[in-house]
Amino acid sequence: MCDALGIVSFAGNHIWVEGLHNYRPVAAFSFLGRYRIVDFPLSNMSNSGMDHIQVYLNAKPRSLIEHLGSGRHYNINSKRGKLHMLFAGSMIDHDMYNNDIAAYMENLESIALVNKPYVIIAPSYMVYKQDYKALLNAHIESGADITLLYHSVDNAKDGYVNCNILNLNKQKGVLSIERNRGNAKNRNIFMDTYVMKKELFIDLIKQAKKTSSLYTLSDIVGSECGENGSLDIRGISHRGYFAAVTDFKGYYNANIELTDYNTATSLFESNWPIYTRTNDSSPTHYSEDGCAKNSVVSNGCLIEGTVENSVIGRGCTIKEGAVVKNCVILSDVTIGTGIHAENLVIDRNAKLTKVQEVVANEGDPHYVKRYDVI
Amino acid sequence: MCDALGIVSFAGNHIWVEGLHNYRPVAAFSFLGRYRIVDFPLSNMSNSGMDHIQVYLNAKPRSLIEHLGSGRHYNINSKRGKLHMLFAGSMIDHDMYNNDIAAYMENLESIALVNKPYVIIAPSYMVYKQDYKALLNAHIESGADITLLYHSVDNAKDGYVNCNILNLNKQKGVLSIERNRGNAKNRNIFMDTYVMKKELFIDLIKQAKKTSSLYTLSDIVGSECGENGSLDIRGISHRGYFAAVTDFKGYYNANIELTDYNTATSLFESNWPIYTRTNDSSPTHYSEDGCAKNSVVSNGCLIEGTVENSVIGRGCTIKEGAVVKNCVILSDVTIGTGIHAENLVIDRNAKLTKVQEVVANEGDPHYVKRYDVI
Amino acid sequence: MKQNNMLAMILAGGRGSRLHELTNKVAKPAVSYGGKYRIVDFPLSNCANSGIDIVGVLTQYESVLLNSYVAAGGRWGLDARNSGVFVLPPREKADANLDVYRGTADAISQNIDFIDSYSPEYLLVLSGDHIYKMNYAKMLAYHNECNADATIAVIEVPKREASRFGIMNTDENGCIVEFEEKPEHPKSNLASMGIYIFNWKTLRKMLIADMKNAGSNHDFGKDIIPALLADNRKLVAYKFKGYWKDVGTIDSLWEANMDLLDSNNDLDLSDPTWKIYTEDTTTLPQYLGPDADVKRAYITQGCVVNGKVKNSVLFTGAKVGKGAKIIDSVLMPGVEVEEGAVVTRALVANDIKIGKSAKVGSADSEHIELVAKRVKGVE
Amino acid sequence: MKQNNMLAMILAGGRGSRLHELTNKVAKPAVSYGGKYRIVDFPLSNCANSGIDIVGVLTQYESVLLNSYVAAGGRWGLDARNSGVFVLPPREKADANLDVYRGTADAISQNIDFIDSYSPEYLLVLSGDHIYKMNYAKMLAYHNECNADATIAVIEVPKREASRFGIMNTDENGCIVEFEEKPEHPKSNLASMGIYIFNWKTLRKMLIADMKNAGSNHDFGKDIIPALLADNRKLVAYKFKGYWKDVGTIDSLWEANMDLLDSNNDLDLSDPTWKIYTEDTTTLPQYLGPDADVKRAYITQGCVVNGKVKNSVLFTGAKVGKGAKIIDSVLMPGVEVEEGAVVTRALVANDIKIGKSAKVGSADSEHIELVAKRVKGVE
C-alpha cells in the first residue's frame, strides 16, 4: 500500500482543446480508441497501491462520471478505498474563478478527512506511466518539501503549448515555474505532478486562496521556489513515453505517434496494466476487401475499406472502397462507401457519407463534430 | 420486465427546503435515518422491473452521485440495464432557467436512445410506494395519452405547500393543474408522476422549449388538459403512505410521523423492499442508562441518554443525561452530556455540547447547521 | 427473482474429452471461442439479457478455472443486490457423503435446497456448452401461454442428421407426445436443444421420486422427460430459429469460429441489443503493423499483427510476426506466431508459440490440425 | 495481488457440531454473530482491510449457504478487477477422483493449481471461525523483517488454560523451537491462533512431500509445522494483542455476543478505520415502540422493540412484543418474541418464534439454553 491520497486534477483554464473540449473535459477524451485520458493517472495510482483517489470535475461531468463509475475496473477496493468524484463550485467552462484552488477549497473537508500523510497530485490531461510509490519514496528520502515531476524535451518550441516549465539548479532545486513560451527547444516540461505532505497541501490551498482568487496550485508553489521561497522544492526527471494534451494538435499527435507499436511499448508494459471501462464490444470484423496497416483498431468495428496510420475507435464502420489515412476516429463513426478521409479528428457518431473527399493538409489536421453528417 | 424508461426528476425551482437545501438536492436528503429520499422512487422503479433509469441532477450533485454509485444496490443489472446520472446544463441553484425541460433538452439524445416505448417520470422529493408496472398497465388499458398520479388529502390548507393539485372531472379526466394555494382542505395533490409514450414525452419537451424558456413539464402538460387541450390526460388515485418534501416543515413532519410503526407499515412492505446504500455501520449500542421510545434509531449509534419521538441518523452519540425529544437528527451528530434538545432538525456532524437547552416550540421546529457546534 | 420468478441452472460438468488438449486443464464451458469469449458466456449473457438474476452453475470436472471465471458475476451484470452466479459443485451434506453428480437430473436434485432458498416459480435448465443467443423470457411467455408443465426448446435439423439428436415428436398443437434419444428412424426433425423450463413444484416432485429410483440414470432426457410424459403432464416444444451450435470436436469448434467470418452470420455478435458479455482483460489495443495484410478476419484487442491473416480468427493477445501467414486458422488467446511461420487449417491452443519459419497444418487435410505443443522454429 | 503479493486461504470446512442445531443447515463460519455479522465476515473483512485482494475459501460441509454467501465478494469490496473471493470445495480432477479434504494441509495441497495461477510470493492461511480484528499487512511486515520462512500468530493465554491450545515454544528471539498440540505440561503460554504466513515456494514443496506421506494427518499443526522445524526452517511467532475468540460452543457464542455490551470491549466494532463488512440486508430501520424499555443492549436495524430488553443482543429483524422481556439473552436473526413472553439466559436460533407469555431459559442455569424450536404461547 501507498501512504498517499491521490488527487487527479482537471485541466486549468489556460488549456482548451478546440472541438472536442466543447462536449467533455479533457479527462474524458477518447484516447487511442479504447481509453480515456483519465485512465492513465488512475491506472498509475492503482498500480502504485493507492486506494484513496479523488478525481476533480470542473465542467460537463456526465461522460467522466459514467466512465469512472464505482472504480472497480481500476482495481480499487470499494470498501477499503474509494474513488471519489469531487466537484468544483461553479462547473462552468471559461469561468476564470473556476480553478483548481477553488475546487480544493470547496472540498477541503474531504481532503482533510482522508487518513494519509501524503498527497500525490497528477493531471488528467497528460499521458505517461509512473510508479508513484517509487516517486513518494524518492520524495521522502530526499527530504524535500515538495517534489515536482518533469520531462526533458528537445522540441519545446513547437510542442507542449500551454505547459509549464521548470527552471532547475544543479541540485535539481526548482528555481521557478513558468509558462512555456516556445522560445527554446530544450526545456524541462513540468508534468503538473506534485508530491508533498497533505498538511502542506492544505496550507498551500488556503494560502493561495488568501493571496488571490485566481491563484492556482502551480502559482502558489511557484511563489515558494528559488532562493526567496520558504520551501525546499525539487524536480525529479521522468523517463518513458510522455504526452500533454493541451491543444488540438497535441491531442492528434499523441494518438498518431502511438500507432507505432515500438513507441507504444514504452507506455504499455505488461506489469503496469492500463485499466479502462469495457464496452462489451465484439471483436473487429475485416471483410474480404478490408485492410489496415500501421494502425490501432478498437473492437466492434467493421472494416471493409482501407485504413492507414490511423486510430479507429469502438464500433466504427469503414465501408467498401473508403480510405482512411492519418485520422483519429472516435467511437461509432461511419465512413461511407468510397469516401476518402485524411488528416482528420472525427468526433463520435459522425457520418462521412456525402462529400467524397474530406482531406486536410498534413500537419494541419481538421476536426469533424460529434453527430455531424458530412 | 417493464417496458418503460424511468426518469427521476429533480425538485423544481419553486421548491426550497430551508437549511438542508443549502448543502444538497432534496433527492439526497437523509430520510428516516438510513435512507435518502431518492431511494423511494428508485426502489419503486426497480421493484417494478424497470432497469433503464435516468436520474436528473440540477445542483450540488456530489452526495447524490456517491449515494447512487453504480446502482447495484438498487438491484439493477449494470449490463442489461443502467442507472444513468444526467446533468442539467447550468447546475446552479436559484437559476430560473435551470428547470426540468432545460435538463431534458440537454439530454434528449440519451432519452431517445433508450429502446423502451413508454416513460414513467417520478419526483425525487416525494415519498410513496407505487407499483409502476401496474400503473403502466392501467395507463395502457385506459387508452389515455398521459396518466398522472395523485393523492387525495383533507389537509391541503396547512400541508402540501408548493405542490400542484389536479382538478378532475367525474371520469378522472384532468381539467387543469394548478399550484396548491392552501385555500381548500380537500385536494387531489399531484404527485408529479407521469406515464406516457416516450415519443409524446419528447414532443412535449420540444413544445415546452418552444413555448417559453421557463415552461416546465407540468406547465406544458397542464396546457393540454381540459376540453381545450388536445390530449386525453387522466388521473389515477394513489393509496397508502404519501409525503411531499417541499418545505422544511414537510421534511420534519414526514420523518416524525414515520416514527410510528403502524404508519411505517403502510410504506414498508416485505414484498416491496426499499433499497439504499449500506454504510457498514455496527449495530447500535445502548448503555446501562440509554433508553429510546417511539423512535427510529439507525445503526452505529451510542445511546447513553434518553431519546423520544425522534429519528436518529447513523453514527450519532447521545451522551449520558442528554434528552432528545421530537428531533430529526442526521448522521454523526453528538448530543453532549446533559444537553436537552427538542423540536429540532440537526444536520450532520453537528455537535450540541455547550448550550444546555436547545428547545424550539412544538409545531415550529428549528434547524441546526451542518458541522455546527452549539 | 423479482423480474420473472425464474431461476436458471447451467449444467457445466461435461468433460469435453473430444476437444483433447483444450480440455486438459479447463472444463469445456470455459473453452475460448470467437476471439474474446468463452463458451459459457453465451448461456450466462442470455440469462442476464433475459432478465434472470440468479444463476447456478453445476460444475464437476477440472473446474477451478471455470469456477473462478463464473464466480465473478459482475461480468454479466449478475452482481446486483439480489442477483448472483453461484458455483455448485457436488458437496458433502449432514445426511449424505460427498459424491459426484450421477446425471443431469441428479445435479439438480442435489441442489434442491439451493433452489428452494429462492422459491422460484420456474426453473430454467441450460447446457453450459452451446453457442447461441436466445431470449428465455420469450420462451417463458410461451410456456405460460401454453399452460405447460414443461417446455423444451427444439431446433429443426436436417432429417438425415436427426438420428444424432434427442428427437421430440409433437402433435398438431406442438405438444410433445414422445421423446426419442438418437432414434435410428426419426419420426420428426425437431432436436432438443437441452433447454428446459419447468414449473419448479412439478419438477421438484419428479426429482425426489427419481432420486429414489435405483434403475434411473438420473438424466433429463432419459428419465425425467419420459416420466413427465408417463404422468400425463403437458410438455410443449418451443421452436427456436437462429444460430445454435454444440462444439464437441476440434472440427466443429473451428467451424463455429469460421462462421463468424461471414458478415451475415446468424449469431451476429455485434448486435448492441443482445451483447455477449465476457471477461474484461487489460490488453493493448489491436495493433496492425506496417506489414500487416488482413483479409476476411475476426481480430480482437490485444492482437499485434504484422503478417498476413486470411480467413482466420485471432483471440485476445495473439501475435503474428512479420512475414508470417495465418490461413483458414484459429489462434487461441496468447498464441505467438513468429516471423515467417505459416499456419494453415489449424487451431492453435492457448499460449502456444510457433517458432520462426515453422509450418503447421495443411490446406488439404481432412480434419483441422490441433496444435497444442510448442512448435520449434526452423533455422 | 499488486498490493502485497499475498494470497489468503480461509479454512472454512469445520462442522461445528458443538453448536448443535445452529450448524444443522449452515457451516460454522456462516453462523450469525454480533447483531448483523456472520463469523466469516471477520477474516474476510480483515483481508480486505489488510490490502489482500484474492481470497480462497475452502468449504466442505453443508456449504450451500456459506458458498453463496462468500461468493458475493462485493460485500467486502473484493470484487474489483483483479480481486475476488473464490469458493473452493473438493473437486474432481483429470488425475484424481472426487474426495473430501483429508486435513487442513490437504485442503491447501488440493488447490495448489488455484494458488499457482496467481503466483503469489506469500500465502496467508486463516481459520474461518474466529472472531478478531487483525492487520495481516503488519504481520507480513514482521515476517519480512524476521526473514522468516513461516510466521505464526500467537496470543498469550492464561497458563492454566494453555493445555487446551496448540502451544508455541520460542527462543529469546521469538523463533519457534517447538510446537506442542494441547500439551499436558505447557512450557509457554503462547497459543497458536491458526493464522500462518508462509513463503509460498517453501510451503509448496512441503505440501507436495506431505501429500505423498501415507502416515501424515495432512494437518498444519500436526504435520507441516513440525516438518518445517525438522527442516531447520525459520519459524517466528507474531504476538497478537487484542480480542480473539473461537466460538466453539453455545456458551462461548453467547459470551462473545455479551462481550459487545461492554462499551470498552476490545473488539470495538464501531471503529471507522477497521470496519467489519457484511451482507447488506434490506430491512426497516430499527423501531422502538411506545413501551420499549432498553438498557445495556446491542440492537441492529430491522429490529422492532416494544418490550423490555436488558443485557441482550438483538440480531437483524428480531421482534420483541409489548410486555415481553429479553434478559441476558441473544436473539438471532428473525426471532419473534410475542407479547408477554420472557427470555432469560438463552440463545434463540434464527427465525424461531416464542409465543405469547411463554417463558424460556432461567437466570440460574449453568449453561445457556439454546432455543431452536418454536415455543408455543401460553393462554
Q: Which of residues 25-54 of A touch D (CB under 8 A)?
A: 46-47, 49, 51
* In the block, residue with C-alpha cell 505547459: A163
Q: Which residue from D27, A87, D152 is spatially nearest to B64, judged by alpha carbons? A: A87
CA atoms within 13 A on the CB side of D113: 15
Identify which has the larger pLDDT, B337 or B226: B337
Q: How far off is chain C from A239, nearest CA to CA, in Å?
A: 20
* pLDDT for res C97: 61
Specify whether the CB–CB gap between D127 and D59 falls below 8 A: no
pLDDT in tens, C165-215: 999 999 988 899 999 988 999 999 999 999 999 999 999 999 999 999 989
List of chain D residues whose C-beta atoms are within 8 Å of the C-beta of residue A73? 80-81
User: Could A299 and C301 be called an inter-chain contact, meaning their C-beta atoms sit closer than 8 Å?
Assistant: yes
Q: How far off is chain B from D296, nearest CA to CA, in Å?
A: 4
Q: What backbone phi and psi angles, to 5 degrees, belong to C156?
A: -75, 130
Identify which has the larger pLDDT, D24 or B332: B332
pLDDT of C37 > 60? The answer is yes
CA atoms within 13 A on the CB side of B135: 32
Highest-confidence segment of A155-159, C132-136, D14-18, D78-82? C132-136
Q: Which of residues 200-229 of A touch D (CB under 8 A)?
A: none
Torsion of CA D352, D355, D361, D362, to 10 degrees: 160
Task: Name the grid cell of D335.
Answer: 426471532
pLDDT of C94 > 60? The answer is no
Q: How far off is chain A from C8, nearest CA to CA, in Å?
A: 23
Chains in contact with B, where contact means 3 or more Cβ–Cβ distances below 8 Å, are A, C, D
pLDDT of B214 > 60? The answer is yes
* pLDDT for res C2: 58
Q: Which of residues 57-116 of B touch C (CB under 8 A)?
A: 71-81, 115
* pLDDT for res D93: 61
User: Could A62 and B87 be called an inter-chain contact, meaning their C-beta atoms sit closer than 8 Å?
Assistant: yes
Q: Which residue from D110, D81, D208 is spatially nearest to C62, judged by alpha carbons? A: D110
pLDDT in tens, B40-68: 999 999 999 998 999 999 988 999 999 99
Specify whether the CB–CB gap between C247 and C33 falls below 8 A: yes
Task: Name the grid cell of C78.
Answer: 449478475
Task: Please name the residue ranges forming H helices in B244-343.
Answer: 248-257, 261-265
**Distance from C-alpha of A209 to C-alpha of A220, rounded to nearest angstrom:** 9
Per residue in A245-274, is it b (16+ CB within 10 Å) or e — as a string? bbbbbbbbbbbbebbebeebeebbeeebbb
Task: Name the grid cell of A113.
Answer: 478527512
Say if D232 is an interface residue toward chain B (CB within 8 Å).
Answer: no
Task: Name the grid cell of A359.
Answer: 482531406
User: Could B65 and A65 be called an inter-chain contact, meaning their C-beta atoms sit closer than 8 Å?
Assistant: yes
Specify whether the CB–CB gap between B70 and B78 falls below 8 A: yes
* Closest partner CB to A77 (pick from D83, D273, D275): D83
pLDDT in tens, D166-221: 999 999 888 999 999 889 999 999 999 999 999 999 999 999 999 999 899 999 99
Q: Which of residues 285-344 of C touch D (CB under 8 A)?
A: none
pLDDT in tens, D35-48: 999 999 999 999 99
pLDDT in tens, B113-132: 999 999 999 999 999 999 99
* pLDDT for res D96: 59
pLDDT of B1 > 80? The answer is no
**Distance from C-alpha of A165 to C-alpha of A150, rounded to nearest angstrom:** 8
pLDDT in tens, C183-196: 999 999 999 999 99
* pLDDT for res B277: 92
List of chain C residues whose C-beta atoms are within 8 Å of the C-beta of residue B71? 80
**Distance from C-alpha of A210 to C-alpha of A341, rounded to nearest angstrom:** 52
* pLDDT for res C239: 96
Say if B271 is an interface residue toward chain D (CB within 8 Å).
Answer: no
User: Could D294 and B295 be called an inter-chain contact, meaning their C-beta atoms sit closer than 8 Å?
Assistant: no
CA C324 centroid distance within chain = 32
* Closest partner CB to D48 (pick from A72, A80, A115): A80
**Distance from C-alpha of C314 to C-alpha of A150, rounded to nearest angstrom:** 40
**Distance from C-alpha of C123 to C-alpha of C114, rounded to nearest angstrom:** 12
Specify whether the CB–CB gap between C224 and C108 falls below 8 A: no
**Distance from C-alpha of A175 to C-alpha of A167, rounded to nearest angstrom:** 5
Q: Which residue from D303, D299, D297 is spatially nearest to D283, judged by alpha carbons? A: D303
For A68-82, A220-234, B53-67, B149-163, which range has the lowest pLDDT when averaged over its residues? A68-82
pLDDT above 90 covers a percentage of chain C that reads 76
User: Could B62 and A86 be called an inter-chain contact, meaning their C-beta atoms sit closer than 8 Å?
Assistant: yes
pLDDT in tens, B69-83: 888 899 988 888 889
Average pLDDT of span D302-313: 97
Ramachandran class of D281: left when φ > 0, alpha when ψ lies in -120 to 50, beta otherwise: beta
The pairing of beta strand C325-327 with beta strand C304-305: unpaired
pLDDT of C240 > 70? The answer is yes
List of chain B residues whose C-beta atoms are within 8 Å of the C-beta of residue C74? 78
* pLDDT confidence band for D24 (50 / 70 / 90): confident
**Distance from C-alpha of B220 to C-alpha of B223, rounded to nearest angstrom:** 5
* pLDDT for res C96: 59
Cα dihedral D128, D134, D135, D137 sign:
negative
pLDDT of C3 > 70? The answer is no
Q: Which residue from B291, B321, B315 is spatially nearest to B303, judged by alpha carbons? A: B291
Q: What backbone phi and psi angles, to 5 degrees, belong to C263?
A: -65, -15
* pLDDT confidence band for C65 (50 / 70 / 90): confident
Cα dihedral D147, D153, D158, D164 sign:
negative
Concatenated DSSP letters of B22-49: GTS-GGG-EETTTEETTHHHHHHHHHTT
* pLDDT for res B89: 79
pLDDT in tens, A210-261: 999 999 999 999 999 988 899 999 999 999 999 999 999 999 999 999 999 9
User: In 3-state terms, what secondary structure has residue B73?
Assistant: helix
Say if C34 is an interface residue toward chain A (CB within 8 Å).
Answer: yes
pLDDT above 70 covers a percentage of chain C that reads 97
D375 has which bridge partners?
A: D354
